């Protein structure tokens, strides 16, 4: 069956939009591209060729297929917003367009302006601190972003959903987590997730044009929120944990790729959730 590139781009876009988190692992994406090549007779010698042809059709829609490398080493593909008209409006459009509970469910609502300000403040806090945030820290973000008076007013609003009452901030945080902008970072003593980091959609939709996000010099991907830096406190570079581990396997002298300071044999460099990286 032969289809044009416009149809192929529609097929691949619909496949992403059907996913709850709008992202897929590299292996899944490779299978999707292979499916297009084999069953729909689109021409392209490589994944890069197919992606280029599809992105030529998606550009007028303000979208493109892109990928990010996470601290774990996983490569994630998703739809990236490309509008350059106004970075802030782009981020808000992304949040307002996607971050809502399922239609028809009790308590459903579109995000408010306060929600968007809060979400952007959370993202900026991750960039500043390079650390996982717990619920108390997220509440502090609400006050710092909205102002103490507005934050109190904001958190007093209540929504009844599925028999439970939520404050407006809890409701917004729950939506943030359900839509994949925040993902669990670790478990607390009782086995529950109590710290969160930005998810793949954050990198693609919110940080996609943000110069404040560090890029890993080893893979040249702008996705280092956690990660590690060398023990030299004057070194400005941050690396994905997986990238620096692979680098030291290739170069066992364990010198920093940037400043050449030796790393310790165990423990690595400074981690993104170390206390000395908090913005206090």
Domains of the chain: 5-61 (no CATH), 87-206 (no CATH), 214-280 (3.30.40.10)
Cβ atoms of residues 213 and 225 within 8 Å: yes
- Taking the chain, what is the end-to-end CA distance rounded to the nearest angstrom? 60
- pLDDT digit string (tens) for the chain, length 280 residues: 456 777 888 888 888 877 777 788 999 999 988 888 777 766 777 888 888 888 888 887 777 888 888 777 788 898 877 665 544 555 555 554 544 433 334 344 455 666 666 777 777 777 666 666 777 777 777 677 666 655 555 555 554 444 445 566 666 667 677 777 777 776 555 555 667 777 777 777 766 666 666 778 888 776 676 678 888 878 878 888 888 889 999 998 899 998 999 998 765 555 544 433 222 2
Structure tokens at 237: 């570079």
Q: How far apart are CA 259 and CA 217, in angstroms?
A: 12
- Cα torsion 120, 72, 23, 40: sign: positive
Q: Angle CA(183)–CA(143)–CA(91) in degrees, nearest 5?
A: 50
CB atoms within 10 A of CB 183: 17
* Strand bridging mode 158-161 / 164-167: antiparallel
């Amino acid at each position: 069956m032969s289809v044009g590139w416009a149809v192929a781009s529609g097929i691949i876009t619909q496949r992403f939009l059907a996913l709850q988190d709008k992202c897929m692992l590299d292996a899944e994406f490779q299978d999707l591209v292979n499916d297009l090549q084999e069953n729909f007779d689109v021409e392209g010698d490589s994944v890069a060729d197919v992606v280029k042809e599809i992105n030529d059709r998606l550009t007028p829609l303000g979208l493109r297929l892109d990928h990010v490398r996470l601290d774990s080493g996983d490569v994630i593909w998703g739809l990236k917003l490309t509008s350059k008209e106004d970075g802030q409006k782009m981020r808000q459009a992304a949040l307002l367009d996607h971050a809502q509970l399922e239609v028809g469910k009790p308590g459903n609502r579109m995000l408010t302006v306060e929600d968007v300000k809060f979400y952007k403040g959370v993202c900026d806090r991750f960039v500043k601190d390079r650390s996982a945030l717990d619920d108390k820290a997220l509440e502090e973000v609400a006050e710092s972003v909205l102002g103490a008076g507005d934050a109190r007013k904001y958190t007093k609003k209540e929504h009844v959903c599925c028999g439970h009452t939520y404050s407006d901030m809890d409701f917004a945080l729950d939506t943030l987590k359900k839509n994949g902008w925040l993902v669990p970072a670790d478990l607390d003593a009782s086995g529950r997730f109590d710290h969160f980091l930005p998810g793949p959609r954050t990198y693609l939709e919110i940080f996609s044009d943000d110069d404040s996000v560090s890029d890993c010099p080893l893979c040249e991907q702008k996705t280092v929120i956690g990660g590690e830096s060398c023990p030299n406190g004057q070194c400005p570079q941050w690396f994905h944990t997986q990238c620096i581990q692979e680098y030291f396997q290739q170069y066992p002298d364990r010198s920093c790729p940037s400043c050449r300071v030796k790393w310790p044999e165990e423990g690595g460099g400074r981690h993104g959730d170390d206390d000395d990286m908090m913005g206090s």
